[in-house]
Each structure stands twice: as C-alpha cells, then as structure tokens.
Homo-oligomer: A and B are copies of this chain.
Amino acid sequence: MSGPGDTDARTALARWLRRLMLRSELSERDAELVLSLPGTFRSTAAGRDFVRLGERVAASCIISRGLAARFGQNRDGLRQLTAVHLPGDAADLHSAVLPESESALTALSDVTIYQVPHEAVHQAAQASPALARAFWRDCTVDASIAGEWLLSLGRRDASSRLAHLFCEMALRSGVAGAGQDRFELPMTQEQLGDALGLTAVHVNRMLRLLREAGIAAKVGTTVEILDWARLAEVGDFDDAYLHLRRERPATGGSAPPTPGAGG
C-alpha cells in the first residue's frame, strides 16, 4: 500500500486529478486529498480479465498504463465492451458506491492499475463535499459516454460506429488539442468488434473502407487520421458528450473537433 509520499502513486493520481479538475472546481486541499489517496499498483497482461463477473470489489482502479475495458457477456459468451478506459481514467470509481459489479474488467493491452480502497474514496468524499461532487460527476461523464455508445449501437451502421470510436478515442487521448493526427489504440480487430457490436471480420472490412477512402488507417497499434473532417462526418460525431471543455459554445452544431493539420 503506497503512502502519501509515493512518487509513482502521485504521478498516476495526478493524471486523474487533471481530468477531475477539467470538469469541477477543486481547492488545493481537495487536490492534495486526491494525490494522497493510498493504494497499490498491479499489472495485468493483455487479454487477462482483472475484475471478474459478479465479483465483489473493495477498491477502485485508476488506470496508470495501457488500455482497459468494461464488458458484459451474453448467453453465448459473446462479449460487449461497455466502456474503454485510458491512462488517467478511474475505471470503476462507481464501485465505491456499488461494489457488486455485474460487469467485468479486462486488459486490452498490458495494463498497470493503481487500486484505491473504497474506504479511502469515501473518506476523501466525506472530507470534502466538492470532491464528492467531482467523483459523482466523473461517473456521470462515463454514463454520458455510455449513452453515446448506445446511440451508436442502436442507430449507426458499422462504418459510422468505427469512425465514431476513432473520433472519441482520439479526443480522449488528447491529440486533438495538440493538432496531431495519430494516436495509440492497442486493440485487436476482435476487441474493436466487441466494442462496436460487430464481428472481427466485419471490423476488418470497415477498416479497409476507411483506409481506401483516405479517411483513417490503423497500422499496428496506432491510428492515423488522414481526414478529420470526413472522419467526423462518417462517424456522425459531436464531441459534446465527452465534456472535455469546461464551457462549450451554446451552438449545438456537430462541428469536427479541432481538426489537426490536414495532410
């Protein structure tokens, strides 16, 4: 269990804190409460599930390195990802208030997580109402993303779903602000299919479609965005649901997100 002085822990927590502060007003004292959250590091190999179905968990996971995902399974064992989490995300902060998880967590790539005991989360929340609200808000943003995924699965076709996911992961990776046109997405086509409600075979075809249209290409674990505007167009993408900006313009338009330098 890491103490307040642990540098690695503070580094991992700092990334999460930055995300929290993007969306909530937090005092210096609140920040210190977050940065000094106790916990333990744990690594998991790609493809391994680290929270099993129906398990009762006693700690929340902050992703420190790699890509993790929440998923459910149907009768036939087919998986459906319900959330993907990047470094700096709290993958299951909500388990602090609902420890009986009815979904599981899996490592999409090799992953390192920082596990904070629920007790510590509650103590921090109790010590600061503003922090309690920030935790709640963080979970709410995840719910907002889930809502957008529902829209994708229910009302968008395969190519649109894939393009939409690329847009989302690009923005969440923080590339758009930096004007970049590529980001890491260490997911196999099988895993992409599980995220999009498609088969790996069809994901492959849709990747080819985007590549041959000069819109985006996935090479190895990196996605290269060749045409931001058309990617957002195909993906029917509006970044409002990600709540990445503290204040967003009143216009409800579906403008492409801060396009990077095109070609």
Q: Contacting A154 at CB < 8 Å: which of B80, B132, B252? A: B80
Q: Could you say which of B122, B129, B133, B155 contacts A197, with CB atoms under 8 Å apart?
A: B155
Q: Any chain B CB within 8 A of the CB of A151?
A: yes
**Is B146 in contact with A97, judged by CB distance below 8 angstroms?**
no
Tell me if A72 and B151 are in contact (CB < 8 A).
yes
How many residues of chain A have a CB within 8 Å of chain B? 57
Set of chain B residues within 8 Å of A79, measured between Cβ atoms:
155
- B146 close to A150 (CB less than 8 A): yes
User: Interface stretch among A6-14, A137-145, A170-178, A180-188?
Assistant: A137-145
Contact residues of A: prevailing secondary structure:
helix
Pick the interface stretch among A43-51, A98-106, A221-229: A98-106
The interface stretch among A32-40, A58-66, A201-209, A235-243 is: A235-243
Contact among B133, B144, B155 for A78, CB-based, below 8 A: B155
Cα-based distance from A153 to B195 in the complex (angstroms): 11
User: Is A86 in contact with chain B by the CB < 8 A criterion?
Assistant: no
Q: A102-B240, A139-B140, A241-B102 are in contact. Are A252 and B151 (CB under 8 A)?
A: no
Bound CA–CA A94/B236 (angstroms): 25
Say whether A120 faces chain B, with CB atoms less than 8 Å apart: no
Bound Cα distance from A245 to B94, whole angstroms: 18
Q: Which residues of B lie under 8 Å from residue A190 when comparing CB positions?
A: none
Q: Is the CB of B147 within 8 A of A72?
A: yes
Min distance, Cβ A195 to any Cβ of chain B, angstroms = 8
Bound-state Cα–Cα, A241 to B133, Å = 24
User: Do A74 and B151 contact each other (CB < 8 Å), given the known contacts A102-B240, A252-B53?
Assistant: yes
Q: Whole-angstrom distance between the alpha carbons of A126 and B79 in the complex?
A: 40
Q: Which residue on chain B has the smallest CB distance to residue A126?
A: B129
4 interchain residue pairs of minimum CB distance: A154-B197, A54-B252, A153-B153, A80-B154
Can you give 11 contacting A-B residue pairs, CB < 8 Å? A72-B151, A74-B155, A82-B150, A97-B136, A97-B137, A98-B140, A98-B243, A136-B139, A139-B139, A154-B194, A154-B196
